A and B are shown apart, each in its own frame.
Chain A
Amino acid sequence: MTTYILRRLLLMIPVAFLVTVGIFVIIRIAPGDPILTYAGEDPNPETIAYVRAQLGLDQPVPIQYAAWLSRALQGDLGRSFQTHQRVTEAIIERLPVTFELGAAALLISVTVALVVGTISAIKRNSAVDLLTTSFTIAGVSFPNFYLGLLLILLFAYVVPGHILPPGGFTPFSTDPWDNLRRLILPAITIATASLAVNLRQVRSSLLDVFGLDYMRTARAKGLRERAVIVRHALKNALIPVVTIIGIQIGAIIEGAIITETIFFIPGIGRLAVQAIPSQDYPVVQGVVLVSALSFMLSTLAVDVLYAFLDPRISFGGAQA
Chain B
Amino acid sequence: MTEAALPVVIRAQQQTRASSLRWFLRKNPRMLVGMVLLSILLFVAAFAPIIAPYDPIKVTIGDALQPPSFQHWLGTDDLGRDVFSRVLWGSRISLSVGVISVSIGFFVGVSVGLLAGYLGGTFDLLAMRVIDALLAFPALVLAIAITASLGPQIQNAMIAIGVVAIPGYARLTRGQVLSVRSREYITAARTVGVPPFRLVLRHIFPNIANALVVQATLATAFAILAEAALSFLGLGPQPPYPSWGQDINYSQRYLANMKWWMSAGPGIAIFIAVFTFNFLGDALRDALDPRLRRSG
The chain A residues found within 8 Å of chain B, CB to CB, are: 11, 14-16, 18-19, 22-23, 26-30, 137-138, 140-143, 145-146, 149, 153, 156-157, 203-204, 207-208, 211, 250, 253-254, 257-258, 261, 272-273, 276-277, 284, 287-288, 291-292, 295-296, 318, 320
Contact = CB atoms under 8 A, between A and B. Distances in A.
Nearest to A317: B178
B187 to A, nearest CB: 18
A300 B255 CA distance: 43
A15 B134 CA distance: 9
A318 B178 contact: yes
B281 to A, nearest CB: 9
B22 interface: no
B38 to A, nearest CB: 14
A258 B294 contact: no
Interface of B is mostly: helix
Categorize the interface residue count of chain B.
35 or more
A81 to B, nearest CB: 15
Contact of B270 (A15, A18, A146): A146
Contacts of A211: 294
B225 A208 contact: no
Contact of B229 (A16, A145, A157, A320): A145
B252 interface: yes
Contacts of B145: 23, 26-27, 276, 284, 288
A72 B274 CA distance: 41
B136 A295 contact: yes
B140 A258 contact: yes
Interface string B75-89: 000000000000000
Nearest to B292: A204
A145 B232 contact: yes
B91 interface: no
A15 B248 contact: no
B141 A22 contact: no
Contacts of A18: 129-130, 133
A19 B138 contact: no
A30 B148 CA distance: 7
A16 B132 CA distance: 9
A146 B267 contact: yes
Contact of A143 (B174, B255, B267): B267
B184 to A, nearest CB: 20
Contacts of A257: 138, 140-141
B221 interface: yes
A258 B229 contact: yes
A19 B135 CA distance: 9
Contact of A149 (B138, B175, B225, B263): B263
15 contacts: A16-B136, A27-B149, A30-B149, A137-B282, A140-B278, A143-B225, A146-B248, A157-B258, A208-B294, A277-B234, A277-B235, A284-B145, A291-B137, A292-B133, A295-B138
A121 to B, nearest CB: 8
| Candidate in B141, B178, B221 with the most chain A CB atoms within 10 angstroms | B141
A139 B26 CA distance: 27
B279 interface: yes
A42 B267 CA distance: 41
Interface in B135-153: 135-141, 144-146, 148-151
